[in-house]
Structure 1
Amino acid sequence: MLIKDIKKSDYFKAMDETFLTELLHPENEGVEMGCSLAHAVLSPGKKSLPHRLKKSVEVYFILTGTGVMHIDDEEGAVEPGQAVYIPPGRVQWIENVSDEDLKFLCVVSPPWREDDEEICP
């Protein structure tokens, strides 16, 4: 059985400038799974940098805070309990428009790889 505790996880500043911890990744955990799972935090008033995953699908699941999700030329308000589907190759970024941390889960399939992600101008 594999159980990961978010309270014991180390966060780092990700390429897109969110604070992130990888909760489950098959390469780190030595398990077979078709996705990776991370927890992201974005402070009030902050925005992630526009970026894209070239080949992977990503899903954000909003836990706390409210934000605006941007995918290419579309944007939409997001709040706790909502899931956002982000197709591969699309420019994406999220902004925190609340006065609390915007916290969300990031599910990437196939599992996230550094060479699949790029910051966009």
Structure 2
Amino acid sequence: MDIVNLNEAPPFTTKDGSEIRELLAHRNSCIEKQSLAEARLPVGASTTAHYHEKTEEIYYITHGQGKMQIGEELLDVSVGDAIAIPPGQVHQITNTGTEILRLLCCCAPAYEHDDTILVDL
């Protein structure tokens, strides 16, 4: 049985600039086809706009509020919102709140740096 506690998951910075704590993926568990991580974004910060050629993502906001852009759409997001991000869609999230924006990020297939393509908005 693989169990990873968030408080024991080492943080790293992804290619888009967010701080990630990978909870479950092929790197640390028996999970092979997806990954689950928590991302953190400081007040006022944004991820670098990017897309994934292969990976579809789900963001689930657990703390804070922000603005989510997917393609041309820009919407407010807050605690309890689940956001679907299809492969190939340019996306970016910005922390517009007064606390660290924290979200769970599910990726299928699992997150990989080489599947993250940075772009200018």
TM-score bracket for this pair, using the shorter chain length: over 0.9
Q: 2:72 aligns to what?
A: 73
**In structure 2, C-alpha distance between the alignment counterparts of 1:100 and 1:49, rounded to whole Å:** 19
**In structure 2, C-alpha distance between the alignment counterparts of 1:113 and 1:14, rounded to whole Å:** 9
Q: 2:2 aligns to what?
A: 2
Unaligned runs of 5+ in 2: none
| Aligned AA (2:54) | K
SS for the counterpart of 1:68 is strand
CA-CA distance at 1:64 after TM superposition: 0.3
Q: 1:21 aligns to what?
A: 21
User: CA 1:92/1:32 → structure 2, altered by over 3 Å: closer, same or farther?
Assistant: same
CA-CA distance at 1:110 after TM superposition: 1.3
Runs of 4+ in 1 over 2 A off after TM superposition: none
Q: 1:90 aligns to what?
A: 89
**In structure 2, C-alpha distance between the alignment counterparts of 1:25 and 1:88, rounded to whole Å:** 19
CA-CA distance at 1:33 after TM superposition: 4.0
SS for the counterpart of 2:7 is helix
Give RMSD over aligned pairs.
1.1
SS for the counterpart of 1:106 is strand
- For the 8 Å contact 2:14–2:113, the answer to whether it is kept is no
| Aligned AA (1:71) | I
| Aligned AA (2:85) | I
Deviates more, 1:45-54 or 1:111-120: 111-120
Unaligned runs of 5+ in 1: none
Q: Normalization by structure 2: what TM-score?
A: 0.94
User: CA 1:98/1:24 → structure 2, altered by over 3 Å: closer, same or farther?
Assistant: same
**In structure 2, C-alpha distance between the alignment counterparts of 1:43 and 1:82, rounded to whole Å:** 19
Deviates more, 1:106-115 or 1:59-68: 106-115
- For the 8 Å contact 2:61–2:79, the answer to whether it is kept is yes
> How many residue pairs were aligned?
120
Q: Normalization by structure 1: what TM-score?
A: 0.94
**In structure 2, C-alpha distance between the alignment counterparts of 1:20 and 1:27, rounded to whole Å:** 14
User: CA 1:113/1:13 → structure 2, altered by over 3 Å: closer, same or farther?
Assistant: closer
